Amino acid sequence: MPRNDALENGELTDTSYYILLSLVEPKHGYLIMNTVEQMTDKRIQIGPASMYTTIKKLSAASLIKLYGEGEKKKKTYVITEKGRKMLESEIERKREMVRHGEEILLQLKEMGS
Amino acid sequence: MRKTKYIGSGGLAFDEEKDMERLSKYASEGWILEKFAFLGFKLRKGKSESVDFSVAYESDPDEDYFAYFEAAGWKHVCSTGNYIHIFSAPKNTTPIYTDKASIFDKYEKEKRKMADIAFPSLIFMAILFILESLSNLSWVADVVGTISLVLACLTLIVLVFTGLPYFGYQYKLYKLRK
């Protein structure tokens, strides 16, 4: 399925990344939206349609799972073991990217001085 | 004075943004979207509202789906076929689709849906036209040709209503990829 391309390549979109981060504890969908907004100081906002489709996608890829149904049939989700590993490798990938960037910037500074 | 008004739609596959802008403009004049109508929308006279409209596709959504929209400030206005849903919200509410990946998914899914009907009907129509031209031969009854022609015309209608949207979505995806 082309829909899961990014996930299968082992890369997470910003939306998926932040949803996984906020699901280290079980949460309902709209609480995820609030959590992500607070965490990122409103820099990352997830619209309801994107939220719903991304949750479906992450579930299908077994990165999150249904935790339970609360009152009024509200579904809560939580990250899986697979999701946690994915999150760790994504953080490692991002750390490496930042390191590359910082190295280059440092070189530039040294050349300038 | 009339209480309801019908406005035509350019077809969501082609004119989604324009259609939503028109609905928003009508709402500011007090004509509020009530429901989908054949090839358009039905509006009802009410208080003028300053709102944005958005379309989402989701077949058979659960209660959570609408709960997410409500929590984000988007009011569910109407749906058709339990599949296409229109929402409205005060201007400057966070959009319903916020990342490229899910916008892409939205149109990709639509495109595939259209293709699933358009391609078989294209083949079916081709077969019907072959049958029709065969009916000019003496050993094939004339009635076969007549029936084929009628069926071919009906299939053409199906083809137009799925083939054109197919290209519409294809174009949207092409623009997104750039």
Three-state SS across B124-169?
HHHHHHHHHHHCCCCCCCHHHHHHHHHHHHHHHHHHHHHHHHHHHH
Window from A91-95, A96-100, B172-176 with minimum mean pLDDT: B172-176
User: Are B126 and B74 a contacting pair, CB within 8 Å?
Assistant: no
User: Are B52 and B91 a contacting pair, CB within 8 Å?
Assistant: yes
Say if the Cβ atoms of B69 and A48 lie within 8 Å: yes
Residues paired with residue B53 on neighbouring β-strands, in sequence order: B88
Residue B76 has pLDDT above 90, yes or no: yes
Q: Would you state the pLDDT for residue A1?
A: 39
pLDDT digits (tens, 9 = 90+) for B110-156: 899 999 999 999 999 999 988 888 887 777 777 888 888 899 999 99
On chain B, the residues whose CB falls within 8 A of the CB of A30 are 67-68, 71-72
Say if the Cβ atoms of A74 and B69 lie within 8 Å: no
pLDDT digits (tens, 9 = 90+) for B58-75: 988 988 899 999 999 999
Identity at A103, one-letter amino acid code: E
Residue A5 has pLDDT above 70, yes or no: no
Which domains does chain A possess? 2-112 (1.10.10.10)
| Percent of chain B whose predicted confidence (pLDDT) is above 90 | 57
Say if the Cβ atoms of A46 and B98 lie within 8 Å: yes
Summarize chain B as % helix, strand, coil (round to 5).
55, 20, 25
Min Cα distance B146 → chain A (Å) is 43
Predicted confidence band of residue A2 (pLDDT cuts 50, 70, 90): very low
On chain A, the residues whose CB falls within 8 A of the CB of B108 are 2-3
- Structure tokens that stand for B109 in this block: 């899914």
CA B26, CA A27: separation in Å to the nearest integer?
39
